[in-house]
A and B are shown apart, each in its own frame.
Chain A
Amino acid sequence: MNLLECINLCKSYGNKEVLKDINLTIPKGKIIGLLGKNGTGKTTLIKLINDLLTPSSGKILVNGKEIGCESKKIISYLPERTYLDKSMTIDKVIKYFEDFYDNFNSNKAKKLLIDLDLDLSQKISKMSKGMQEKLQLVLVMSREADLYILDEPLGGVDPATRDYILDTILTNFKDGASVIISTHLISDIERILDEVIFIDKGRIMLQSDCDELRNKENSSIDEVFRRMFKC
């Protein structure tokens, strides 16, 4: 059974169609890049999978079942914004995750945060935006999930942070789980991807194994993408 499946998925706001007839399957145990320019529907697709948007039509199945409690137990999601209650301290947030997610490994989270030199009794509102984003990444990667969905984890960060983020993803995801990473910065992450999905103007343009694509096109994924979308 496929881990995730989208069937004829559409989403529109009023007359504006944002996603058009998306058909997609995500297998187990793969790292997948969801690649597209800004404003092409990547975030919309991810929000639909995470129950933050309601589809206009079509279906999303996780392990064969519609999204709900069961899918949320096994999906660990990093949105592109800060979503924590800023009046809480880091300790409290860890407790919060521990309370709600059975698969949250709080020791791992604490260790990763201490590695970042963070004082766990600190209030989130006192932290810089960059630190808040790292905290969220650590929380998300400290869950032993079956599917990690990371929306633009590399958006607007410096090269050192980018390395930290990629390392944290690669070293912490659960063995056998799948990871979906959405980004428009392809060259930075393509070496860790198994598969890529190109999305443009709300449609899936291509889904392929990375190495097959490199062999076929005789160039990097980044170049294939640039050629395809002329940017």
Chain B
Amino acid sequence: MLKKLLKYDLKSMFKGLFIFYSLSLFFGVLTRIFFSIEASFIMNIIAKVCSGVSISMIFNILINNLMRLWGRFKQNLYGDESYLTHTLPVDKKTLYLSKILTAIITLFVSIIVISLTLFIAYYSKENIEIIKTILLPVADAYNSTIIKILFAILFVFFLEFANILQSGYTGIIIGHRKNNNKTGFSVLFGFVVYMITQIISLLMIFITGLFNSDIMNLFFTNEIININMIKVIIYIAIIIYTISLFVIYFVNLKLFKKGVNVD
């Protein structure tokens, strides 16, 4: 049954996101083309406009992805459609799992499309050099490659979004246990849960700081982040976000399994 649910969830999500994916890639290509045409004043303006649109499309993808996931979660499990969803012979765990997998898969695809757009629009020797000068010292310091560091950053970014998303789900689940103003409570609880994960993250970094004076300095001095810390922070971020994803997953599942009260 999970496969079938997933099929419908993904279809409905990608149907909405497809237009933004296409626009984003399209303007990425335009940006590239106009920048590569030798600079007349007008071409330059057009290129900058396209570049601006590409960047806004990228944000559009992220925001749309999140909003659509939350929207579908609410409509499918608590709105009109829930009358069908909850009467399917599928257990609650599978219903929730399908939503989470849909979130992970769509976020993953969105991040790939975003990376692709950036690559198409801005890939050039000079830009790579800029990234290299920023990241090479980090990579060198840890015997790593730039690619690995880049992937690590993207991964943290992905986890962060998954976390925001799932906090929203918690908000919707708890909010809809209330008897009135369900939407308001959903937003409130979602925000609170997200803040809690952030506070815990900070706390964890602080605790790590007890064993690592460099990190401790972050809290008490205005020093610019030094290279040594980046890797540690990335590691901590990955660990904490992963743990929090799982913890919230099980909490949500438990709350969800207790049953719903659909209007």
Shortest Cβ distance from B173 into chain A, in angstroms?
Answer: 13
0/1 per residue, B82-94, Cβ < 8 Å to A?
1110111111000
- Consensus secondary structure, chain B interface: loop
Give Cα distance in the complex from A47 to B1, angstroms.
Answer: 23
The answer to whether B12 has its CB under 8 Å from any CB of chain A is yes
Q: B88 contacts A72, CB within 8 Å?
A: yes
List residues of B (245-263) whose CB comes within 8 Å of A's CBs: 258-262
Number of interface residues of B (CB under 8 A): 22
The answer to whether A225 has its CB under 8 Å from any CB of chain B is no
0/1 per residue, B5-47, Cβ < 8 Å to A?
0001000100100000000000000000000000000000000
Chain B residues near A81 (CB-CB < 8 A): 80, 83
List residues of A (75-114) whose CB comes within 8 Å of B's CBs: 75, 77, 79, 81-85, 87, 96, 99-101
Q: B91 contacts A50, CB within 8 Å?
A: no
Q: B86 contacts A52, CB within 8 Å?
A: yes
Q: A69 contacts B80, CB within 8 Å?
A: no
Chain A residues near B181 (CB-CB < 8 A): none
Q: Which of B1, B8, B83, B258 contacts A52 (CB 8 A)?
A: B83
- Consensus secondary structure, chain A interface: loop
Q: B4 contacts A99, CB within 8 Å?
A: yes
User: A52-B260, A54-B261, A100-B4 in contact; A77/B80 too (CB < 8 A)?
Assistant: no
Q: What are 26 sample pairs from A and B whose C-beta atoms fall under 8 A apart?
A: A14-B179, A50-B83, A50-B87, A51-B87, A52-B82, A52-B83, A52-B86, A52-B87, A52-B260, A52-B262, A53-B262, A54-B260, A68-B91, A69-B91, A72-B88, A75-B87, A79-B83, A81-B83, A83-B83, A85-B12, A85-B81, A87-B15, A100-B4, A100-B88, A101-B88, A101-B89
